[in-house]
Structure 1
Amino acid sequence: MSNQAEMLVQPVKTAGRAGPSRKFGFTWRDKLNDFVIGAMLPVVVLALWQAGADFGLISAQFLPSPLVIAKAFEELLLSGELLGHLGISLGRAALGFGIGGGLGLLFGVLVGFSRKAEDMLDPTMQMLRMIPHLAIAPLIILWFGFGEWSKVLIIAKGAFFPLYVNTFMGIRSVDNKLFDVARVLEFSRSKQIRQLVVPAALPSILLGLRLSLALSWVGLVVAELIGSQAGVGFLINFAKQTSATEVIFVGVVIFAIVGKLVDSLVRWLEHRLLRWRDSYEG
């Protein structure tokens, strides 16, 4: 019975698809080639940037050279200051995402399965979703002060809506014919959810997870730039006040690298959980 349910939601892979490296995952050579191709543009940009700084074509005050930024990064890293600020930022982002993303998933499931809950909650959720971070942040700080909770709530606000919307839409996009077949097979309600709804809605939920993590990181930047005594955003804000442009770039690069690593982790999770999908790979 369980195998029959899995056949309902998992498309059968066609014969003659790409070779073993595509079927069983990329080989190390494929991954190395992808890394080299992906690194070409940043390397070229950095080389031109450094050359422009060396020949005096770029103002050091306006745009420090990559070597100057790397030196500032090294000094912050060796002093332990960078890791301290980064640890605080990661803790805030994780807590905010846990609260906002968890509630978004919960409300998305509730509204997805209940038309009454949708009529009651979704209009309000959609209005709140349209409020920008910068518009709600002053109110949150006014209510909760400049402490940790104000920052966590700003991050949670960003994390909530992507998971809410994508979970809701993922459940509602499940083909109704699957439920007809499930009734014929006499599936219980819990079995329908576990073996039909969850696998079918999982691509949309994982997309929501990816967007939610991204907006959590954006919310962290907003929260720490508005008011903070520690964190990568504070490091950037303090560098702005002291005109240390290279430190600002260090903070921006840290935000970019960590954001990319988190996004890659979710993409790896998608690859593992959605291996059964027969989708176009380019």
Structure 2
Amino acid sequence: MTTTDVPTATAPTTTEPRPAPAEKSRRDQRIRRRTLAPGKRLPASRLIGPALFLALWAAASAAGQLDPGAIPAPWTVLRTTGQLWSAGTLPTDVLTSLERAAYGFALGLSAGVLLALTAGLSRVGEALIDGTVQLNRAIPTLGLIPLFILWLGIGETFKIAIIAIVVYIPIYLNLHAALSGIDHRFVELAEVQGLSRLRFIREIVVPGALPGFFVGLRLGVTGSWLSLVVLEQINATSGLGYMMFQAQNYGRTDIILVGLLIYGVFGLASDSAVRLFERRVLSWRRTLSN
């Protein structure tokens, strides 16, 4: 009598399918590639540097490492700011400076965009405009102040004109470079698709030139504040620059620091506003910043 082995029933085991070597290699490569990015943006990251600077300034002042006559402590500057605000002089100076910067920036922005579009979209426009702008860029803008005083007088007009020149140059340069850098294959594609001139500008030129435009816009905003510091010390009766010039005559370094800090806050706030607007407008781009 022969016995045969009876197979015993075993519970089925489920095993996850192992990824193919090629798929696993691609996944590992993607993981390694992600580590090259800067990482997630820190909240309020642009305030960390200024906050650290203020902390070091306060610590050095408290430890007696800074001469109070040359560099007053932060609490001294803050107290002086409150006194000037209560006296009513600081609000007037701030509003005057904002008005001058706004007028000059608006004129410079309009001129920069108009000239860049004309020179970037037309060979004739480029021949007539680009060389002149490059020549203007090579001339120190603040060196034009004596000439503009003779032309426009010593009032508000020449101040706004100088601010406009300081603003329009970086906007023109960056926007013109962005227009010139648009890939010619997009132009050929637009011609094949039969796009009109208006659709070509709206769908090809504008999206391609916006990144360069925002770079020039940020430089123009900063330039308006930098030029304002100098211009408000020339035959002015109000403004932050005038306030700082008067404080220099009386040796009030605390008032000078008040003006410098306000300029810095305005510059940082305007640059952050432009950055925020840029991220909203260019949300379709995938870059290291977003």
TM-score range, shorter chain: 0.7 to 0.9
- Cα 1:44/1:269, change in 2 over 3 Å: closer
Provide the residue aligned with 1:191 in structure 2: 199
Provide the residue aligned with 2:19 in structure 1: none
The CA RMSD measured in Å over matched residues stands at: 2.3
2:190 aligned with 1:182: yes
* Offset at residue 168 of structure 1 (A): 1.2
The answer to whether the 8 Å contact 2:109/2:168 transfers is: yes
* Offset at residue 95 of structure 1 (A): 0.5
Identity over the aligned pairs, expressed in percent? 36
Give the letter aligned to residue 86 of structure 1. Answer: V
Provide the residue aligned with 1:160 in structure 2: 168
Structure 2 residue aligned with 1:204, among 185, 188, 212? Answer: 212
Deviations 1:106-136 (A, max 9, x none): 0100000111221222112101112223311
Deviations 1:246-270 (A, max 9, x none): 0000000000000110000000011
Aligned counterparts of 2:264 and 2:75: Cα–Cα separation in 1 = 18
Gap regions ≥5 residues in structure 1:
1-14, 19-29
2:231 aligned with 1:227: no
Provide the residue aligned with 2:111 in structure 1: 103
Task: Point out the structure with the larger helix share.
Answer: 1
2:67 aligned with 1:59: yes
2:260 aligned with 1:252: yes
TM normalised by structure 2 equals: 0.82
- Cα 1:184/1:39, change in 2 over 3 Å: closer
Identify which of structures 1 and 2 has the higher relative contact order when contacts are C-alpha pairs closer than 8 Å and 6+ apart: 1
* Offset at residue 56 of structure 1 (A): 3.2
TM normalised by structure 1 equals: 0.84
After superposition, residues 28-47 of structure 1 pair within 5 angstroms as 33-35=42-44, 38-47=46-55
Q: Rg bigger for which structure? A: 2
Gap regions ≥5 residues in structure 2:
1-29, 35-39
Give the letter aligned to residue 184 of structure 1. Answer: V
The answer to whether the 8 Å contact 1:96/1:216 transfers is: yes
* Offset at residue 40 of structure 1 (A): 4.3
The answer to whether the 8 Å contact 2:174/2:212 transfers is: yes
Deviations 1:133-158 (A, max 9, x none): 33111221232222000110110110
Name the count of aligned residue pairs: 257
Q: Secondary structure at the match of 2:232?
A: helix
Provide the residue aligned with 2:289 in structure 1: 281
Aligned counterparts of 1:168 and 1:96: Cα–Cα separation in 2 = 21
- Cα 1:38/1:199, change in 2 over 3 Å: closer
